[in-house]
Structure 1
Amino acid sequence: MAELSLNNIVKRYGSFEIIHGADLDVKDGEFVVFVGPSGCGKSTLLRMIAGLEDITGGELKISGRVVNDVEPADRGIAMVFQSYALYPHLTVEENLSFGLRMNGNPKADTERRVRHVAEILQITELMTRRPKQLSGGQRQRVAIGRAIVREPQVFLFDEPLSNLDAELRVQMRVEISRLHKQLGTTMIYVTHDQTEAMTLADKIVVLRAGNIEQIGAPLDLYDDPANQFVAGFVGSPKMNFLRAEVTGVKAGRATVVLTGDKTVRMEVPLSDRSVTSGAEVTLGIRPEHFGEAGQGEADLTVAVDVAEHLGNTSYIYANFGGEQLIIEQPESRNLGKTETLTVSLPAARTFLFDTAGKRLR
């Protein structure tokens, strides 16, 4: 078991800085997920923890020990990559035991560990097969098993499910979650998949352009995003954003008018007292938070482009003043491409951001 501490971690390639002073504490036994768009630095940060990338600046501690200059093999870490990286000429049993045998681990202990891992991952019947005889999900189990058998202090996962089809991804998410509960080991997981992040994590770290934008529990980030980037990135389908203008500010509330239709006017709570009348803002609302017409502070009528029916839920893809919206409806509706839909905006469910993405409420 282990806890990790990242203090002002920096990564540069020459004069180009990739990670700009990352600070993060990971508790013993915690499941932490790094999310962010491509190129944000999440895999680079993971590889620095693993020791596969040098740390340019800052301090990395594992269980209180500074490991900046410690070799990867001596950090007590095991990593599962996007590619399975199995030896094609070896059986499953030989793949699982390879690292232990190369390190001179006693034969009896190696056999014990391999049997234990095979039971945990339910791959006992696959032990004599070679990788080409396994499905994608089975190969991923073996790759994870090869990490478990080392009995590391920390598991690192770098987008391990990206090569699997949708059904297998769901299955493996359940397996990894079950595995974490069973082992109780500290895990750090990199993904771009919102569902993986929301369902697996104890704590999510949202990165953008080498900076940590927000850290928190999944539902805390979903309900209380720090800025417009986090609000738009966390959640699937993503939050809707509507251009608006502040026309008045009084007693901690702002009156805003939607740019797409200036007849749509509403009052919203305001926590930033520096906002003044005439300011351009963005109003955010999640797809499931639209209300029925007449039940919010303002109604808006949208032109329906596509209705996606998913049983007891429908997603309405619509246009409002040139802006694209996704509206979740609790039941299927027979809406054609030329029809309109009127919904309400409940002020308590909306967010307000300035032009730089700073949250105003």
Structure 2
Amino acid sequence: MAELALKNVVKRFGTYEIIHNASLDVADGEFVVFVGPSGCGKSTLLRMIAGLETISGGEIHIGGTIVNDVEPADRGIAMVFQSYALYPHMTVEENLAFGLRMTGNPKNDTERRVQRVADILQIKELLNRRPRQLSGGQRQRVAIGRAIVREPQVFLFDEPLSNLDAELRVQMRVEIARLHKELGATMIYVTHDQTEAMTLADKIVVLRGGNIEQIGAPLDLYDNPANQFVAGFVGSPKMNFMSGAVIEAQGQTITVALSNQGNVPITLPVENFEPRIGEKVTLGIRPEHFFKAGQGDADLTIKVDVAEHLGNTSYVYANVSSGEQIIIEREESRNESNRDTLTIAIRASNVFLFDNTGNRIR
């Protein structure tokens, strides 16, 4: 396996720049997940690492070697696609062995590698079947096996589970996590699925509009987002945002009125922030950080829109006067969450604060 590094990587199509000076270090054996909204550049970045897209500037290093001009087949990478890309006329065994046979790998070594992969992925009983005889999950296992059999330095995954149903996605997520642990491989994984990112990654890279917004461990990004975009993107259900305005400031303490909640005030400690009275701010609160009335620093009365009961947990969706929607995670309480209105409390210690440009204040 090998470490990987991107140094000020740029991608342009004509005069339009879609990746802007992306820099990233991936340690040997690390599992890194690229996340971001559609069109943010995560798949393009992955394809540049693979050599399927040329880079317009910067450097890509694999195992300490610059690979900007190295052909994809010579980069020591293997890629798993969303579409499986299996040869329909070949058996599973032939699909697994095809790439090695094309490169003239010795027959005995090819057979050894195929049997090893079949053991790792528990697909030995499928070796004589063709892709049309396999389920979606089995096809994805074979696609992953075709990457493993090459024994690459780096594995690249481009939304490999998006074609599977919910139950299979959970199963395959566990399989990929187990595989990473067993192989100790360097893996780069693109997804739009929050759960995949949070559960699989050693490190998450959040992209927006071709820029890397923040890099960090999953819980670091969840607990300490750099800005409002990251705060709203990392986590499921997403963070709630409520508009407010500064109504008082004394030293490193400010009081903010929630303008869409009847101007309910809450006092917050801040550092390195010199607000103007009346300055617009946004409060961020995770769904699990709402409490029963009287158990926090400010009480809010909201109108319940929909309540989802999921067993031991309920999600209450509420609309506020501005049209903003908030999601409240509660321990199961059917009677309470079925009310038309609900009074909840927030605590200053759980509040994130962002200025009017989306930068985090606290």
Q: TM-score, normalised by structure 2?
A: 0.98
Could you tell me which residue of structure 2 aligns to residue 277 of structure 1? 277
Q: Are 2:76 and 1:82 aligned? A: no
Aligned counterparts of 1:139 and 1:154: Cα–Cα separation in 2 = 21
Aligned counterparts of 2:133 and 2:357: Cα–Cα separation in 1 = 53
Evaluate the alpha carbon distance shift between residue 117 and residue 19 of structure 1 in structure 2; reply closer, same or farther with a 3 A threshold. Answer: same
SS at match of 1:53: coil
SS at match of 1:229: helix
CA contact (8 A) 1:6 1:25 kept: yes
Could you tell me which residue of structure 1 aligns to residue 183 of structure 2? 183
Could you tell me which residue of structure 1 aligns to residue 40 of structure 2? 40
Aligned counterparts of 1:5 and 1:336: Cα–Cα separation in 2 = 49
Cα deviation, residue 274, structure 1 = 2.7
The one-letter code sitting in structure 1 at the alignment partner of 2:344 is V
SS at match of 2:312: coil
Aligned counterparts of 1:161 and 1:195: Cα–Cα separation in 2 = 12
Cα deviation, residue 336, structure 1 = 7.0
Could you tell me which residue of structure 1 aligns to residue 147 of structure 2? 147
The one-letter code sitting in structure 1 at the alignment partner of 2:114 is V
Superposed CA offset, 1:179-198 (max 9, x none):
00000010000000000000
Cα deviation, residue 43, structure 1 = 0.2
Could you tell me which residue of structure 2 aligns to residue 349 of structure 1? 350
CA contact (8 A) 2:316 2:337 kept: no
Could you tell me which residue of structure 2 aligns to residue 307 of structure 1? 307
Q: TM-score, normalised by structure 1?
A: 0.98
The one-letter code sitting in structure 2 at the alignment partner of 1:288 is E
SS at match of 1:334: helix
Deviates further, 265-274 or 97-106: 265-274
Cα deviation, residue 338, structure 1 = 6.0
Aligned counterparts of 2:110 and 2:185: Cα–Cα separation in 1 = 20
Could you tell me which residue of structure 1 aligns to residue 28 of structure 2? 28
CA contact (8 A) 1:31 1:186 kept: yes
Aligned counterparts of 2:35 and 2:125: Cα–Cα separation in 1 = 35
Aligned counterparts of 1:338 and 1:319: Cα–Cα separation in 2 = 14
Could you tell me which residue of structure 2 aligns to residue 240 of structure 1? 240
The one-letter code sitting in structure 2 at the alignment partner of 1:348 is S
Aligned counterparts of 1:235 and 1:77: Cα–Cα separation in 2 = 30
CA contact (8 A) 1:88 1:130 kept: yes
Aligned counterparts of 1:210 and 1:354: Cα–Cα separation in 2 = 23
Structure 1 stretches of 4+ with a deviation exceeding 6 A read none
SS at match of 1:180: helix
Q: Which runs of 5+ in 2 are unaligned?
A: none
SS at match of 2:359: coil
The one-letter code sitting in structure 1 at the alignment partner of 2:231 is A
CA contact (8 A) 1:301 1:320 kept: no
Cα deviation, residue 321, structure 1 = 2.2
Aligned counterparts of 2:64 and 2:91: Cα–Cα separation in 1 = 38
Aligned counterparts of 2:267 and 2:111: Cα–Cα separation in 1 = 67
Deviates further, 331-340 or 50-59: 331-340
SS at match of 1:268: strand
Cα deviation, residue 63, structure 1 = 1.1
Cα deviation, residue 269, structure 1 = 1.7
- Equivalent residue runs for 1:151-230 within 5 Å: 151-230=151-230
CA contact (8 A) 2:19 2:45 kept: yes
Q: Aligned-pair RMSD on alpha carbons?
A: 1.0
The one-letter code sitting in structure 2 at the alignment partner of 1:238 is K
Aligned counterparts of 1:276 and 1:3: Cα–Cα separation in 2 = 47
Q: Which runs of 5+ in 1 are unaligned?
A: none
Q: How many residues align?
A: 361
- Equivalent residue runs for 1:103-114 within 5 Å: 103-114=103-114
The one-letter code sitting in structure 1 at the alignment partner of 2:156 is L
